[in-house]
């Protein structure tokens, strides 16, 4: 016989990884996640967010490459615009933008955005604020969906996301000074 009341869906049974790596408890019309140490219950207890800080790598080419100078959470590393492609030791590749896995981790399938837990809408990630060492020696400018780093003269933006001092190409001889010097000698 059909119940007059809405029958309960067991989310824990239907979506076994919904609380991963936490434990899912089904309730009538709802569910809640109990999260392990270093994970935070977010989204009103609907998911567990990984709060562990670990190595973040700018590039991933079969293995993690170009380790950044600061440890980040997986979310900080993988979700910001142009930050990381790999995380942790041993190395875990970040999910590819546009995939469900990316959406699950970041809240949005588009890099540079996260879901505002209050409104449920995508909001820009302020990479300049979220990642302490980003754009070291330069000026970090947050942009909607991205950020940019302006390096002072003599510095260039490197693949570790910092402004690196360039070696002076050569010390140019101040010809005018030499000319005056020879004039003085003659
Ligand atoms: Ca941004």
C-alpha 10 – ligand 1 centre gap (Å): 37
C-alpha 78 – ligand 1 centre gap (Å): 13
Mean pLDDT of the chain: 87
C-alpha 90 – ligand 1 centre gap (Å): 28
Q: Indicate whether 70 and 96 sit together in one domain.
A: yes
Q: What domain range includes position 73? A: 53-149
Give the pLDDT of residue 179: 45
Q: Indicate whether 101 and 142 sit together in one domain.
A: yes
C-alpha 125 – ligand 1 centre gap (Å): 5
Q: Indicate whether 103 and 17 sit together in one domain.
A: no
- Region of poorest pLDDT, from 7-11, 155-159, 166-170: 166-170
CATH number, domain containing residue 35: 2.10.25.10
3-state SS string for the chain: CCCCCCCCCCHHHHCCCCCCCCEEEEECCEEEEECCCCEEEECCCCEEEECCCECEEEEECCCEEEECCCCECHHHHHHCCCCCCEECCCCEECCCCCCHHHHHHHCCCCCCEEECCCCCCEEECCHHHHCCCCCCCCEEEEECCEEEEECCCCEEECCCCCEEECCCCCCCCCHHHHHHHHHHHC
Q: Indicate whether 33 and 57 sit together in one domain.
A: no
Give the pLDDT of residue 80: 95
C-alpha 145 – ligand 1 centre gap (Å): 5
Predicted model pTM: 0.72
Q: Tell me which of 49 and 111 has the higher pLDDT.
A: 111
Q: Indicate whether 37 and 63 sit together in one domain.
A: no
If one counts the domains in the chain, the total is: 2
Tens of pLDDT, residue by residue over 62-100, are 999 999 999 999 999 999 999 999 999 999 999 999 999
């Amino acid at each position: 016989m059909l119940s007059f009341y809405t029958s309960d869906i067991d989310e824990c049974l239907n979506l076994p990884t919904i609380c991963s790596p936490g434990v899912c408890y089904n309730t009538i019309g709802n569910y809640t996640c109990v999260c392990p140490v270093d994970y935070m219950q977010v989204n009103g207890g609907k998911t567990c967010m990984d709060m562990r800080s670990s190595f973040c790598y700018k590039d991933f080419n079969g293995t993690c490459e170009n380790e950044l100078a600061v440890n980040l959470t997986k979310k900080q590393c993988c979700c910001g615009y142009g930050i990381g492609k790999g995380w942790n030791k041993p190395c875990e590749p970040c999910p590819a933008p546009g995939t469900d896995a990316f959406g699950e981790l970041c809240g949005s399938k588009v890099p540079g955005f996260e879901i505002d837990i209050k409104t449920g809408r995508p909001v820009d990630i302020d990479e300049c604020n979220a990642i302490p060492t980003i754009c070291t020696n330069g000026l970090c400018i947050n942009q909607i969906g991205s950020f940019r780093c302006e390096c002072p003269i003599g510095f260039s933006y490197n693949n570790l996301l910092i402004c690196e001092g360039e070696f002076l190409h050569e010390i140019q001889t101040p010809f005018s000074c030499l000319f005056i010097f020879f004039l003085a000698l003659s």
